[in-house]
Amino acid sequence: MTPPANAARNSNAARDIANVLHPYTDHRAHAVNGPLVIARGEGVRVWDDQGKEYIEAVAGLWCAALGFDSKRLADAAHKQMLKLPFYHAFGAKSHEPLIDLSEMLIERAPCPMSKVFYANSGSEANDTAIKMVWYYNNAIGRPEKKKVISRLKAYHGITIASGSLTGLPANHKMFDLPVSDRFIHVSTPHHYHGAKPGETEEDFATRLATELEETILREGPETVAAFFAEPVMGAGGVMLPPATYFEKIQAVLRKYDVLFVADEVICGFGRTGNYWGCQTYDITPDIITCAKALSASFLPISAIIINDKIFQGLADGSATIGTWGHGFTYSGHPVAAAVALETLKIYDELNIVEHVKTAGGYMQKLLRERFEGHPLVGEVRGIGMVGAIELVADKANHKNFEASAKVGPRLAKAGEAEGVILRGLANDTIAFSPPLIMTTDEIDQMVDRTARALDAVTVQLRRESLTVV
């Protein structure tokens, strides 16, 4: 295979193509185009191995909350490595970082919680939450109550179970997912595309709550165990819930004794302008899953935070069979836990929530000022420091481009040329989820670079007659 042009001057690219299988990548295209090799980072910026600088508009994968360098977190990892580089939590073993971190998470939880369990990623956290729900219902004598409901376009991970919860076609096609009829999907709560003509957000929310209730009744309330939801839907397109949505959804769940699992993997630790997305939308969950910003993504760690009702069921089950038979070698790894501890301390010292309220409010205002009137932008949406612009062929009719036009990927590529790393999602939606430490000056630069890239793509599409003016 002939290396791509950049491989001729970059041996890293050629070696990557020869040896690496990338996540979420078209590997035939990758063999032709090669990778963007990132060499270093500082603050909200990264540099490739050719020395080009980029503003990271999505904090990597929604996750580098404190940016791409921190001596303090590096020192925390180094100190713990010298003291206790590894120990496990199996069989009632413990260590101080595990205990301290659990205490801090319980203290910071958005509602009364009881215990914390650890994994290594958001996918594993949601997979674990599913197993907890099933175990809990077996333990309390409800063996039929096992079905779990999520939403179309939800993203909850890519393991077999969490991938079944995820509501995106690319995560199901060719993987034989969902794995069973225990996984059910209801409508996406996105008013822009899902509402009927003239339907208010409140009326749309009422219709979605009615759909959820009808789904539970159709399946049988005695079989429906849990509802999973991201406070703000992330990888599906940065979709905010319509007004009164979670109020009405939670009323239905309480009516039929269905557990609520809040997926805070993206929203947690300040992203929406509160410490938790649950606080932004007045959600009272039974289980919270979190990851990403838990350690500012310096090391892999995720957590599942459960209330006392769930804990008592798990405890009773473990007493019956002699164990809670679930865990990972690296659950609560001492080095990852030490870094997460230091991360939470930094958030407190920076008053990160107040910073996000200020900088996030500025980002939302600027995105709307710069892009709402753009001929290619159908909707600008977001809250706190998570936002999106959705590109459309026909603004008046909310009509998206054909997938074959690859408009989102084109903008992401044009962004690289302008020195901004963007991420394209479903429906040619471009996400903004920068490091939480981003300043207003850096937000200006991020938006300026994106605007230049969008103008370049607009010229391309008009030449190809792909837009409706």
Q: Model confidence over 138-176: pLDDT tens digits?
A: 999 999 999 999 999 999 999 999 999 999 999 999 999
428: Cβ contacts below 8 Å, ≥ 6 apart: 390, 391, 392, 400, 401, 407, 408, 411
Confidence grade of residue 467 (pLDDT, cut at 50, 70, 90): confident
Q: What is the pLDDT of residues 332-350, one digit of tens each?
A: 999 999 999 999 999 999 9
What is the percent of the chain where pLDDT is above 90? Answer: 96
Distances (CA, A) of 366 to 239, 274, 375, 387: 18, 20, 17, 11
In whole angstroms, give the CA distance from residue 466 to residue 468.
7
Looking at residue 237, its pLDDT comes to 96
Q: What is the mean pLDDT of residues 449-455?
A: 98
Q: Which ranges of 271-351 does DSSP label H, i.e. alpha helix?
A: 277-280, 308-321, 334-350
Least confident of 6-15, 113-122, 433-442, 447-456: 6-15
pLDDT in tens, 100-122: 999 999 999 999 999 999 999 99
Domains of the chain: 36-69+352-463 (3.90.1150.10), 72-350 (3.40.640.10)
Average of per-residue pLDDT values in the chain: 96
Instruction: Examine the pLDDT at 274 and tell me if it is beyond 60.
Output: yes
Share of the chain above pLDDT 70, in %: 97
Per-residue confidence (pLDDT) for residue 1, from 0 to 100: 46
Its pTM stands at 0.96
> What would the mean pLDDT of 246-264 be, rounded to a whole number?
98
For residue 61, pLDDT over 70 is answered with yes
